[in-house]
């Protein structure tokens, strides 16, 4: 069985962590993840500047349910003043248990703002930034990073030690460089190197798409917990399987039912129009790898209402 992990004063029931994924890890998906037994759920990242300038949309992304704990909210940014402000907001105005800081996002928009994995380019500044955040809040601060900005600058071990020295309580390492984006293979050797270099919990991330991967990343790296991201999009049952430590069979009907549940939860929180817009992309993931699914994915991309989705799910028999 997965072992218990402690991050600062927060104890996880198990070591299965659901990644903060933009456009996915909202309150609806977190509810599903928690129901399937995840030890820790994380919010999709929010912008420090958006909180700093009082964006109501971003504040709405920080709402949570009482049954989500333990819960981590992820922040991204670059400037010390606005990062500290946003950190204090998450610390005092939200119900999260952990404040996570993003040093791993590879997308151009974030890099141009000198945030996400851009911060791996300057360890001294990253250390100064996290020192300020850690000392501004009471909740434990964690960091998610990559192994380096590119193949020529793999510095995750050096950065991890710097972050530990200023009081960061855990580190999640995605085994790719920024320049790899989500391509190629995750290199777990660097996760192992980080684990051997620090004494705080290390969370392994990258290419965990099966229960075998879940066990393998722990065996190969010694990591304390495993973060699962894209492997659970459309197949959240993988969370439950990893918590139980073994694969189980899930019928096509169970997938369709889960897709419907996902849509209903999104509609309850965001209204039908927004929910169906998001489900156009998400629903097709529930069909991924299933027989005769191409036409159904196509129909998902054009649906206009929850009734349309219901009809598509009802019509699919595999």
Residue 167: CATH number of its domain? 3.20.20.70
Question: Which residues share a beta bridge with 141?
Answer: 99
- What is the per-residue pLDDT for 3? 65
Among residues 42, 62, 96, 105, the one annotated as catalytic is: 105
Whether residue 77 is found in the same domain as residue 23: yes
Is residue 1 a part of any domain in this protein? no
Give the confidence band of 224 by pLDDT, cuts at 50, 70, 90: very high
Q: Report the Cα 78 to chain-centroid distance in Å.
A: 20
pLDDT at 292: 87
Nearest 5 degrees, angle CA 236-CA 241-CA 244?
Answer: 140
Tokens representing residue 83 in the block: 């990062």
Non-local CB neighbours of 166 within 8 Å, separated by 6+ positions: 127, 130, 131, 134
Structural domain total, the chain: 2
Determine contact, residues 82/124, Cβ cutoff 8 Å. Answer: no
For 246-259, how does the pLDDT look when each residue is reduced to its tens digit (9 = 90+)?
A: 999 999 999 999 99
Is 0.75 surpassed by the pTM of this model?
yes
On whether residue 113 sits in a domain, the answer given is yes
* Active-site annotation holds for 105: yes
What CATH number has the domain bearing residue 265?
Answer: 1.10.1200.80
Same domain as 114, residue 18: yes
Binding residues: 20-22, 74, 144, 174, 229-230
87 and 202 in a common domain:
yes
Residues making up the binding site for FMN: 20-22, 74, 144, 174, 229-230
- Token code pair at residue 185: 């293979």
Domain residue limits at 284: 252-317
> Last residue of some domain: 208, 223, 244?
244
Cα 244 vs. chain centroid, distance in angstroms? 20
**What is residue 171's three-state secondary structure?**
strand
**Phi and psi angles of residue 103, each rounded to the nearest 5 degrees, phi first:** -125, 25
């Amino acid at each position: 069985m997965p072992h218990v992990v402690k991050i600062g004063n927060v104890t996880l029931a198990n070591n299965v962590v659901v990644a903060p994924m933009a456009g996915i890890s909202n309150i609806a998906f977190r509810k599903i993840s928690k129901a399937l037994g995840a030890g820790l759920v994380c919010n999709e990242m929010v912008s420090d500047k958006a909180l700093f300038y009082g964006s109501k949309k971003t504040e709405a992304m920080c709402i949570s349910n009482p049954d989500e704990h333990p819960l981590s909210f992820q922040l991204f940014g670059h400037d010390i003043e606005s990062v500290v402000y946003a950190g204090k907001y998450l610390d005092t105005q939200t119900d999260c248990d952990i404040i996570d800081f993003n040093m791993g996002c590879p997308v151009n928009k974030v890099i141009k703002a000198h945030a996400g994995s851009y911060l791996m380019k300057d360890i001294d500044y990253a250390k100064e930034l996290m020192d300020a955040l850690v000392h501004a809040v009471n909740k434990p601060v964690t960091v998610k990073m990559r192994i380096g900005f590119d193949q020529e600058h793999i510095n995750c071990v050096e950065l991890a030690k710097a972050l530990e020295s200023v009081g960061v309580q855990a580190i999640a390492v995605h085994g790719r460089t920024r320049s790899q984006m989500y391509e190629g293979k995750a290199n777990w050797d660097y996760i192992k190197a980080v684990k051997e270099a620090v004494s705080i919990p290390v969370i392994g991330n990258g290419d965990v798409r099966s229960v075998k991967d879940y066990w393998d990343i722990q065996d190969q790296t010694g990591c304390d917990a495993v973060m699962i991201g894209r492997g659970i999009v459309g197949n959240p049952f993988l969370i439950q399987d990893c918590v139980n430590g073994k694969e189980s069979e899930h019928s096509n009907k169970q997938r369709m039912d889960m897709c419907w549940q996902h849509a209903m939860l999104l509609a309850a929180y965001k209204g039908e129009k927004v929910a169906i817009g998001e489900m156009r992309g998400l629903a097709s993931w529930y069909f991924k790898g299933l027989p005769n699914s191409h036409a159904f994915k196509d129909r998902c991309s054009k649906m206009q209402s929850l009734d349309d989705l219901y009809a598509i799910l009802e019509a699919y028999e595999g």
